[in-house]
Amino acid sequence: MLIKRLHESTGQRLQAAGILESAREAELLLEEALGLDRAHLYLDGATEIPAQALAKLEAWLVRRCAREPLAYIIGEQEFWSLSFRVTPAVLIPRPETELLVEAALMVATTAAPPFRGPLLDVGTGSGAIAVALARELPEAFIYAVDRSPAALEVAQANAIRHGVADRVRFIATDLLGGVRPGRMFPLVVSNPPYVAREILPDLQPEVREFEPRLALDGGPEGLAIIRRFPALLKAALAPGGWFFMEIGADQQTAVLDLFRATPFLEQIEVRSDFAGLPRVFQARRHGESTCRAAQRADRRA
């Protein structure tokens, strides 16, 4: 069979299965299954395809038409221009989560005095956020926690793949359970489960049937885990430290109310994503960073 015809029929089958970006996904499936790059898809329109590659493509296409996410089929997802390994044990990194990384980096790279002490990623999943931060902040040490040991295996593989495994420590724990009490972090980031349990059944099949419930289900109104953060931050966010958390587009008011009632936080704000939807909550803990206090102590000495 010729690539051109195969390309067309793949797109048609995806479209018939209700997949919105059928043309783009057909390209990706062909590229990955046949080991071609995009240009060859068009240039080599008349090349014959080996039977083995054809069988692989067919198997993948059947899975995709059953609405399994492409990222799980090919086992990869790009985030922050890095290729991450993904399995059904982890939420597939979303492009809008890059906004959280961007916001956290902005603060981390301009902090004066610079952050001292490890950073914390709560609910790391595939490790996308922790690994992206570790890549961008070559001096940083990051603790990344998750309830799911299976997710942490994937995260560890991603840290190794991107050369930061010596600076990211993964801990299997619910929120802060495994982190040493009294340890304070100048930067805490999280993409917690925040989907309202009530609407889980309405999500698209790719999410509803294939992505880990543990990573999505935020309980009633999607706020159950988010409500635990003020206590977590009280225990773990260093004075002067920053907190960044992804939220659902309809949670801005509830989340602002919750954190405005948290006395030790200031500079509370929600940033919108590229679609104009509220997406990243941020706040700073009152007080001087421990680093500045340390510098003053140095001067006095």
- Residues of the shown chain interacting with ligand GLN in the complex, contacts defined by CB under 6 A: 91, 94, 191-195, 207, 216, 246
Burial class (CB in 10 A: 0-12, 13-18, 19+), 226: buried
Q: How far is the CB of 125 from ligand GLN (least distance, A)?
A: 8
Closest residue to ligand GLN in the complex (CB): 194
Nearer to ligand GLN, 14 or 91 (CB): 91
Nearer to ligand GLN, 111 or 195 (CB): 195
Q: How far is the CB of 70 from ligand GLN (least distance, A)?
A: 15
User: How far apart (Å, rounded) are the C-alpha atoms in residues 232 and 121?
Assistant: 12
Q: How far is the CB of 236 from ligand GLN (least distance, A)?
A: 20
Nearer to ligand GLN, 195 or 238 (CB): 195
Q: Assess contact for 131 and 142: CB atoms under 8 A.
A: no
Nearer to ligand GLN, 91 or 283 (CB): 91
What residues have CB less than 8 Å from 265, skipping those under 6 apart?
A: 233, 243, 259, 283, 284, 285, 286
Q: How far is the CB of 194 from ligand GLN (least distance, A)?
A: 4
Nearer to ligand GLN, 22 or 191 (CB): 191
SS (H, E, C) the chain: CEHHHHHHHHHHHHHHCCCCCHHHHHHHHHHHHHCCCHHHHHHCCCCECCHHHHHHHHHHHHHHHCCCCHHHHHCEEEECCEEEECCCCCCCCCHHHHHHHHHHHHHHHHCCCCCCCCEEEECCCCCHHHHHHHHHCCCCCEEEEECCHHHHHHHHHHHHHCCCCCCEEEEECCCCCCCCCCCCEEEEEECCCCECHHHHHHCCHHHHHHCCHHHHECCHHHCCCHHHHHHHHHHHEEEEEEEEEECCCCCHHHHHHHHHCCCCEEEEEEEECCCCCEEEEEEEECCCCHHHHHHHHHHHC
Q: How far is the CB of 95 from ligand GLN (least distance, A)?
A: 10
Q: How far is the CB of 3 from ligand GLN (least distance, A)?
A: 34
Nearer to ligand GLN, 238 or 255 (CB): 255
Q: How far is the CB of 279 from ligand GLN (least distance, A)?
A: 9
Nearer to ligand GLN, 11 or 193 (CB): 193
Nearer to ligand GLN, 27 or 146 (CB): 146
Q: How far is the CB of 145 from ligand GLN (least distance, A)?
A: 15
